[in-house]
Amino acid sequence: MKISIIALGALSLSVAVNAFNLAPFRHATSQTSSALYGKLWDKLGIEPDGMDVEPGWYVMNCVAGSEMDLLAQAKHVTKGFSTDLIEKIVVPTERKLRSHGKSQKVVEVKVRYPGYCFVKMRCCAETYEPLQELPLCRSWMAGTVNQKGYKKLPPAPICLSDEEVEKFRGLEEETEDMYKKYGEDYTGRGDSGEDLLAQYEGYEVDNMVKILTGNFKGEDGVVKRLKDGQIMVRLFTYGNINDQWFDPNQIRPMTDAEAMKGLGGPAAPVGQDDFDVSIGKKPRRSENSRSDLYNNATGGAGGRNRRQDRIARGEGGDIFGRSEQEIQQEEQNWRQFREEQRAEQQQRRGDQWGIKERSSWDSGDDAATMDADGKWKSGREMRRENNKREAQTVSDALEGDGNWDLFGSDTQESATSGEEDDFFNSLMSELSDNLEEKNEPSGGSKKNEDDEDDFFSSLMSELSDEEDSDSASTSKSSKETSFDDDDFFANLEADLSQSLSDDSNGSDQSNDDDDDFFASLEADISTSLEGDDSNDKNDDDFFSALETDTKDEEAPTTKPQAPVSQDYSSLKVAELKDLLKARGLKVSGKKTELIERLQQS
C-alpha cells in the first residue's frame, strides 16, 4: 500500500514539473506538439519555406507587458533547434531614465513595441507548432483568421515586408549591443544612468521653466517629472492647474531674476478684448473710435464715475471702492426706506380690513392649545373637530335623535345673543314651573304673585343693563335682536294662552291674575323706559309690538290635541315635539324619550 502511494506521488510530481518547465522539444519527424496531433499544420494549408530561401521575420502577439516572459519561453523551447530553422528571437528594448521623487533617478528597460515578439526563422511544421503551443503566445501577425469550415483556428503567419524589415534592422542592432554591454539578464537595477542624464541637463524637479513653442508659448511653469526623454511641466493657466509634457528643446530654464518674480503673467491685466485679439479675433475698433470721438468732443472733462475711472483719477474710497458722496447717499436711502416701512406697518395696525395680522412670534389661530382630554392640538385640528361635531349634531337632529332647539333661525349669533338665549331659557323654565303650580290651593296665589313681581322686576333691571351695554352697537344688529325678541314673546304668549285654554275648568281668578301680571309688566316697562327715550326707542317699539300682539291674539292658537297614551308611537317626532312645547317640557332626545316624557306629564 505504501509503495503504491509513493509511486502515485512521484507520478504527479513529475507531471507538475514537466508542466512548469515546459516539455522538451519533440522531434517533428516522430510526433507533433499540436492538440490535433499533426493535423493543425495540414488544416491551415501553410506552404513551408524552403531551405533555399533566407529566413524571414515573423511576429508573435502576446499580452502587453509579458514580452520578456514570452521571449524566455520561446528561447527555452527552441534551444535545440539549428540556426537553419530558427536564427534568432528578439524583443527590441531600450534604456530609459525617469525621476523618482525630487532627487532620485531610476533606469528602466522599456520595450519598444509592446505586445510583440520578433522571430527570424523558416516557417514550417517543425518551427510553427512548438511556438504556437506556448502559453503566452496569443496569435501571429497574419491576414487569415478562422478559415471556412473550422472554428478557433490560429491565423496563418506572414513574414514582414522588406520596408518593415529595414525599419526594424536598426533596432535589432541596438538591442544586441545593449545586451552585449550589460548582459542578457540586464534589467536596469543598480544602474545610475550617468550617460542618460545628458538629455535632462539643466532641468531638475521643482525648477521653473518658460515655454518656447506651442500653444502655451510665453507661459511659465514648474518641472514635476522627468521620464522617457520628456519633461512634464505644471502650468497655471487662468487659475487652473494643467500638466503638459514637453521635449527638452521646447522649453528653457528660467534665470534667477525671472524666478524671483515667481509665476508671473502679463504686466497689465488681460481683458476680454485682449484675449479675443490673442486668439485671432478682430478688435472692436468701432466702440473704441466712438469713445475716442466722445472724449474729443467733451474735451476730456467730466469723465465717467465708474470705480476704475475713480482709481485712474487717483480718488480714494472705502474697501468697496465707494466715495464719501456715495456712502452718504446710500445711508440716506436706507433711512428713507426704513421710515417708509415703519409708516406702512403702523397703517396696517390701524385698519385690519378683515385680515388678522400674525407676527413671527405669534402663530395666530393655528397656535397649539390643550383640549379637554389634556392633549396638545393645533388650532386647525380643533376647528376641524368642532366642524365634525356640529355636522354630527345636525345629522342626529335630522334623523330624529337630536335636539332641534340647538338650531335657530340665525346660525351665526354673537356673544350677546348667546347670553340672551341663556337668559330666556331660564325664563321659560321658571314660567313652566309657575304653570305647574297652578293646581295648588289658592291660598298660595298671592305669594306666587309676589314672586312673579320680584322676578319681572329683576328681569326689567337686566333688560335695562343690556340695553345700556348695547347702545354703542349698530342699528342693524339692534333691529335683528328686536326681531328675535318679538318672536320669543310671541311664542311665550302662545304657550301661555294654550296653557290657559287647557285649564278651562280653573277659576276665573287665575285669568285675572294673568291679566294683572301683564298689565303690571307693561306699566313697569313703560316706567323704566321713560328715562331715556333716545336710547330706548327700539325697546319701546318692541314692547308696543308685544302689546299689540297680546290684544290681537285673544283666541288661543290651535295646537294638536294630545292623543291617548297608546297612540304616541304612531306620531312623528315633529308632532311629539309640538306637544312637548305646548306643555312647556323639554323637547330634546330620542323618540322613545319624548313618548316617556309625554306619558309622565
Torsion region of 4: left, alpha or beta (phi above 0 gives left; psi -120 to 50 gives alpha): alpha
Q: What is the DSSP letter of 556?
A: P
Handedness of CA 192, 194, 195, 197 (dihedral sign): positive
Digit-coded pLDDT (tens) for 525-562: 665 555 445 444 455 555 555 565 555 554 444 445 54
d(CA 461, CA 388) in angstroms, rounded, equals 40
Cell of 167: 525599419
Secondary structure tally for the chain: helices H, strands E: 18, 13
Q: Are 579 and 549 in contact (CB under 8 A)?
A: no
Cell of 552: 290681537
Most confident of 7-16, 303-312, 407-416: 303-312
d(CA 90, CA 99) in angstroms, rounded, equals 28
Q: What is the DSSP letter of 81?
A: S
Predicted pLDDT at 124: 87
Digit-coded pLDDT (tens) for 374-405: 677 777 788 888 888 888 777 776 776 656 55
Predicted pLDDT at 545: 57
CA atoms within 13 A on the CB side of 393: 12
d(CA 64, CA 500) in angstroms, rounded, equals 124
d(CA 255, CA 259) in angstroms, rounded, equals 6
**What average pLDDT does the structure give for the chain?**
70
d(CA 78, CA 86) in angstroms, rounded, equals 8
Contacts of 147 (CB under 8 A, 6+ apart): 43, 44, 45, 153
Whose grid coordinates read 307693561?
Answer: 522
Predicted pLDDT at 434: 61
Give the mean pLDDT of 193-209. Answer: 82
pLDDT grade for 234, boundaries at 50, 70 and 90: very high
Task: Tell which residue, 34, 42, 244, 266, has the closest CA to residue 133.
Answer: 34
d(CA 538, CA 481) in angstroms, rounded, equals 10
- E strands, 466-556, are none
Digit-coded pLDDT (tens) for 107-159: 888 888 899 999 999 888 888 888 888 999 988 887 555 555 555 666 788 88
d(CA 81, CA 129) in angstroms, rounded, equals 13
d(CA 189, CA 394) in angstroms, rounded, equals 101
pTM for the full predicted model: 0.37
Q: What is the DSSP string of 257-277?
A: HHHHT-S---SS---HHHHHH
d(CA 319, CA 315) in angstroms, rounded, equals 13
Predicted pLDDT at 378: 75
pLDDT value at 276 more than 70: yes
pLDDT value at 244 more than 50: yes
Spacing of C-alpha 309 from chain mean position: 45
DSSP, collapsed to helix, strand or coil, labels residue 84 as coil
Pairing of strands 116-121, 86-90: antiparallel
Q: Residues for the chain: how many in total?
A: 601
Give the mean pLDDT of 47-56. Answer: 84
Task: Tell which residue, 587, 568, 571, 585, has the closest CA to residue 397.
Answer: 587
